[in-house]
Amino acid sequence: MVHQGNNIYLAVLCMAACCSGVPINELLDRASQRSDRLHSLSTSLTHQLDSHLPPIGRMIMPRPSLCHTSSLQTPNDKEQALQVSESELLSLARSLLQAWMDPLVVLSDSANALPQQAHNAISSKIRELQEDTKTLGDGLDILSGKMGPLAQMISFLPFGGNNDLGPDRMSRLVNFHFLLSCLRRDSHKIDTLLKVLHCRTATTEPNVC
């Protein structure tokens, strides 16, 4: 296990070394592709769980404003994102991504609360989400080093929940679905921020983005 861990560590170092000489626009292209995959996965997961959530579960679902990332002020759409500086766009994307590291662990650990027929497929996709989030985070860290101090700033958005999503099966299912819904919303924000950022660095006319 130690040998395998060293290999992974060396691979990350090699990737960072290789990326350090890659133009910003190319790094942003890679980041945009990864964020698109992140959003697609979270959307697929949410739809997959929809069929297992009874009508009463939808009625008691917490409001989106209760997502732990709701306090972060982000552009509401692409037009607003075009008014934000490139460095701040990257800072916002990194803040949102960082805020999901712990909740993804909770989702992974709590997958056994799901209906048996959904458990395996959803657990597998959550592991993919964790891997994609880590890879995208590493790439954005490299980008932030190229874009200056403001891009390196992160707003910390602590996850107030714990590993226990509820005292009974219905509560755990509802809270699991709620977390996934928040992730889907935030992954869309991250994808939008990075795509606008990518477009703005690739053109001399940002208004066409």
The per-residue pLDDT for range 15-51, each reduced to its tens digit, is: 443 445 678 888 899 999 999 999 999 999 988 888 7
pLDDT value of residue 85: 93
The per-residue pLDDT for range 48-82, each reduced to its tens digit, is: 888 777 777 677 778 888 999 999 999 988 889 98
Give pTM, 2 decimals.
0.84
User: Cβ distance 91 to 140 under 8 Å?
Assistant: no
As a whole number, the mean pLDDT across the chain is 83
Determine phi and psi for 71, rounding to 5 degrees.
-75, -15
Both tokens of 100, joined, read 């999901």
Look-up: residue for tokens 């403001």?
A: 150
Structural domains of the chain, ranges and CATH numbers in brackets: 24-208 (1.20.1250.10)
Res. 1: pLDDT tops 50: no
